[in-house]
A and B are shown apart, each in its own frame.
Chain A
Amino acid sequence: MEIKHICSAFPKKKLTNEDLGKIFSSYNYQEFEEKIGISCRYISDVNETSISLGIEAAKKLISNYRINPNEIDYLIFCSQTHDYKLPQSSTIIQDRLQLRKECGTLDINHGCSGYIYGLEIAKSLMHTNNNYKKLLLITADTYTKFINEKDRALRNIFGDGATATLITNEDKFNGIKNFSMGTDGSGAEDLIIRNGGSKTMSETNPEIKNYGTENYYTDNDIYMNGPKIFNFTIKNIPGLVDKCLEENNLDKNDIDYFIFHQANKFMLETLRKLCKIPKEKFRLEMKNTGNTVSSTIPIVLESLLGEEKPKFKAMLVGFGVGLSFGATIIEINK
Chain B
Amino acid sequence: MMTLEDFVTNFVEFAELEGEFKSTTILKESEEWDSMTAMMMIGFCSEHFGRTLTGNELEELITLGDIYERITQ
Interface residues of A (CB under 8 A from B): 35, 227, 230-231, 234-235, 238, 266, 270-271, 273-274
The CA of A227 and the CA of B56, in the complex, are separated in Å by 11
Closest B residue, CB atoms, query A212: B35
Q: How far is the CA of A238 from the CA of B43 in the complex (A)?
A: 11
In the complex, whether B47 has a CB less than 8 A from a CB of chain A is: yes
Of A235, A238, A266, A271, which contacts B52 at CB under 8 A?
A235
- B46-73 interface code vs A (CB 8 A; 1 in, 0 out): 1100001001000000000000000000
**Quick check: A227 and B39 within 8 Å, CB to CB?**
yes
Instruction: Tell me if B40 is interfacial: C-beta within 8 Å of chain A.
Output: yes
Instruction: Tell me, in angstroms, the Cα distance from A266 to B36 when the chains sit together.
Output: 8
Q: Which of B7-28 contact A (CB under 8 A)?
A: 14
* Partner-A contacts on B (CB < 8 A): 14, 36, 39-40, 42-43, 46-47, 52, 55
In the complex, are the beta carbons of B47 and A230 less than 8 A apart? no
Complex Cα spacing A227 to B14, Å:
19
Report if A273-B42 is in contact (Cβ < 8 Å); known contacts: A35-B36, A227-B55, A234-B47: no
Q: When chains A and B are docked, how far (Å) is the Cα of A238 from the Cα of B44? A: 12
A19 to B: closest C-beta gap in Å: 23
Instruction: Evaluate contact between B14 and A230: CB separation under 8 angstroms.
Output: no
Chain A proximity of B34: nearest CB distance (Å): 9
Contact, CB under 8 Å: B52 / A270: no
Q: How far is the CA of A235 from the CA of B52 in the complex (A)?
A: 8
How many A-B pairs with Cβ below 8 Å? 26
- Are A231 and B42 in contact, with the CB atoms below 8 A? yes
- 16 new A-B contacts, CB < 8 A, other than A231-B42, A234-B42, A235-B46, are A227-B39, A230-B39, A230-B42, A231-B46, A231-B52, A234-B43, A234-B46, A234-B47, A238-B47, A266-B39, A270-B39, A270-B40, A271-B43, A273-B14, A274-B43, A274-B47
A219 to B46 CA separation, bound complex (whole angstroms): 32
Nearest A residue to B35, CB-CB: A227
Distance between B32 CB and nearest chain A CB, rounded to angstroms: 12
Residues of chain A lying within 8 A (CB to CB) of residue B47: 234, 238, 274
B39 surroundings in chain A (CB, below 8 A): 227, 230, 266, 270
Q: From residue A184, how far is it (CB to closest CB) to chain B in Å?
A: 13
Q: Across the interface, which residues of A come within 8 angstroms of B55, CB to CB?
A: 227
A-B interface, 10 closest residue pairs, ranked by CB to CB distance from nearest: A234-B43, A270-B43, A274-B47, A234-B46, A230-B39, A266-B36, A270-B40, A227-B55, A231-B52, A273-B14
Q: A235 vs B55: C-alpha distance in the bound complex, in angstroms?
A: 15
Provide the residues of chain A in CB contact with B40, threshold 8 Å.
Answer: 270
Q: Which residue of A lies closest to B40 (CB)?
A: A270
Provide the residues of chain B in CB contact with A231, threshold 8 Å.
42, 46, 52
A56 to B43 CA separation, bound complex (whole angstroms) = 39
* CA gap between A266 and B43 in the complex, in Å: 12
Compute how far the CA of A235 lies from the CA of B49 in the bound complex, rounded to whole angstroms. 12
Chain A residue at minimum C-beta to C-beta distance from B45: A234
Query: Chain A residue with minimal CB distance to B39?
Result: A230
